[in-house]
A = this chain, B = another copy of it.
Amino acid sequence: MKKINNPPIEWLGNRVRILDQTRLPQEEVYLELNNYQAIASAITGLKIRGAPAIGVAGSYGVALGALEIEAKSRDEFLRRLQGISQTLAATRPTAKNLFRAIDRMQQVAAVGEDIEQTKKALIDEAVKIHSEEVEATKKLSQLGAELIQDGFSILTHCNTGTLATAGYGTALGVIKRAKEQSKNIKVLATETRPLLQGARLTTWELKRANIPFTLITDSMAGYFMSRGEVSCVIVGADRIAANGDTANKIGTYSLAVLAKENGIPFYVAAPTTTIDLSLASGDEIPIEQRNPNEVTHIQGVSIAPEGINVANPAFDVTPHKYITTIITERGIIKEPYGEELK
């Protein structure tokens, strides 16, 4: 495997270079996107994915959109930037990071006077959002690694590493940090149907990090937990409500219930940008329903009869009672999450 060490998302002055995650692990293809529509379609099409990463991509999208605007007045500039922001915000509904990043960009646009200065300020803000996300994921990985003991067998779901975060990683960041601390660990990586982020992306990152791992189907997690072969479960998050309820990749809820039943700690790792204090509980988190083709076709190959009903919720909500701790860059928090998250 050819190792290019470009980051999975990078600002190149007037365009964004991303690693196309839909082509991994077979091919490492980098794309250069020079307009906001390309960013929006890269997010929708999962070329870039993971809650923190789409927050970063969204802010670069706003910056690129701003550069494109040829406006006669500041009002026109702001009106068009608003439209661009709405397009970017409409790409995916569940991850909080995207909306938070776009809001921050809007606030920067609102305070400027000169259009050209505002454009520059927006670029600076996007770069700042990105570097803050890198710092946050490094910090939370460092904090979270304290929970990982030598000899642990860690089960993780979906992909939450560099690819997902435009930074160091959340759940996978914690795992990588524990490995860097020379802890003897191994990972059980769920393949994560339907889009196989575990089989395609987490395995790719674990290989690069020289962390021993075993790939399993989502349905095998319970088997290994019941046999005492899982020391802890650690996952990322797409949105955390004020009470600690956590939306994450479909299947996370099942892992949390299985962990509880087997007395296994269940950790959520996420930067504070994933927290949404405006929602009282997970019931209010919008769950994205994606195209049924993602279930019935795997890399273009049909696996089911044509014309059948298929459900494809991309996320589920894990009630806070199943979550042992939430790991953020500002600390490790436990029940009652309501007070701690504030």
Contacts and interface: CB of A to CB of B under 8 A. Distances in A.
Contacts of A196: 303-304
B302 A301 contact: no
| Residue with the highest number of chain B CB atoms closer than 10 Å, among A215, A254, A260 | A254
A193 B190 CA distance: 12
A257 interface: yes
A304 to B, nearest CB: 4
A308 B213 contact: yes
A258 B257 CA distance: 7
| Residue with the highest number of chain B CB atoms closer than 10 Å, among A216, A250, A303 | A303
Nearest to A220: B250
Contacts of A21: none
Contacts of A258: 254, 257-258
Contacts of A316: 220, 222-223, 226
A26 B192 CA distance: 25
A193 B217 contact: yes
B203 A308 contact: yes
A251 interface: yes
A219 interface: yes
Contacts of A25: 304-305
A261 interface: yes
A53 to B, nearest CB: 21
Given A217-B193, A308-B213, A222 B251 contact: yes
B305 A207 contact: yes
Chain copies in complex: 2
A338 interface: no
A194 B298 CA distance: 12
A4 interface: no
A162 interface: no
B304 A254 contact: no
B261 A257 contact: yes
B215 A310 contact: yes
Contacts of A216: 295, 310-311
A266 interface: no
A303 B311 contact: no
Given A226-B316, A258-B257, A299 B310 contact: no
B193 A218 contact: yes
Interface of A: 1, 25-26, 188, 190-194, 196, 199-200, 203-204, 207, 212-224, 226, 250-251, 253-254, 257-258, 260-261, 295-296, 298-305, 308-311, 313, 316-317
The 8 A-B residue pairs whose C-beta atoms are closest, nearest first, are: A219-B251, A222-B254, A193-B217, A218-B219, A223-B316, A199-B304, A214-B309, A25-B305
